Chain A
Amino acid sequence: MGWIVLLAAAGLFLIVLLWFVAMYNTLVRQRVDCDNGWSQIDVQLKRRYDLIPNLVETVKGYAAHEKGTLEAVIQARQQAVSVASDGAHAAEKALAENAITQALGRLFALSEAYPQLKADTNFRQLQEELASTENKVGFARQHYNDCVGRYETTRQTFPTNIVAGTFAFKPREYFRVEASAEREAPKVSFSS
Chain B
Amino acid sequence: MSQAGNPPRPPTTPGAPPPRPSALDRAVAGATDTDRAIRDRIKAYPGTTTYIDLIRKNRRASTLLIVLMLGLGAAVGAAIAAALALYATGDSASLLPSVAVGVVAALIFGGFGVLWSWFGGANAILRMSGAIPIGPQDDPELYNVVDEMRIAAGLPMPRVYIINDSALNAFATGRDPEHGVVAITRGLREKLPRDELQAVIAHEIAHIRHLDIRFSMLMATMVGLIVFACDAFLRVAFRGGAHGARRSSGGKGGGAGVLVLLVIALVLAIVAPLFARIIQMAYSRQREYLADAGAVELTRNPEAMANALRRLGDDEEPLVDTANRGTAHMYIVNPLRKVRKAHGEVETLFCSHPAISKRIARLLALLR
Instruction: Give chain A's interface residues, CB within 8 Å of chain B.
Output: 33, 36-37, 40, 44, 124-125, 128-129, 131-132, 134-149, 174-177, 185, 188-192
Contact = CB atoms under 8 A, between A and B. Distances in A.
B205 to A, nearest CB: 11
Interface in B1-26: 1-2, 4-8, 10-16
B196 to A, nearest CB: 15
Determine the main DSSP class of B at the interface with A: loop
B4 A189 contact: no
17 contacts: A33-B154, A128-B140, A131-B10, A135-B7, A136-B144, A142-B5, A142-B152, A142-B300, A143-B153, A145-B2, A176-B2, A176-B5, A177-B4, A191-B11, A191-B12, A191-B15, A192-B15
B2 A149 contact: yes
Determine the main DSSP class of A at the interface with B: helix
B151 A140 contact: yes
Contact of B4 (A131, A145, A185): A145
Contacts of B2: 145, 148-149, 174, 176
Contacts of B300: 142
Interface residues of B, number: 27
B149 interface: yes
Contacts of A174: 2, 4-5
B147 interface: yes
Interface of B: 1-2, 4-8, 10-16, 140-141, 144-145, 147-149, 151-154, 298, 300
A163 to B, nearest CB: 22
B154 A138 contact: no
Given A128-B141, A177-B4, A139 B16 contact: no
Contacts of B151: 40, 44, 136, 139-140, 143
Given A129-B144, A136-B148, A141 B7 contact: yes
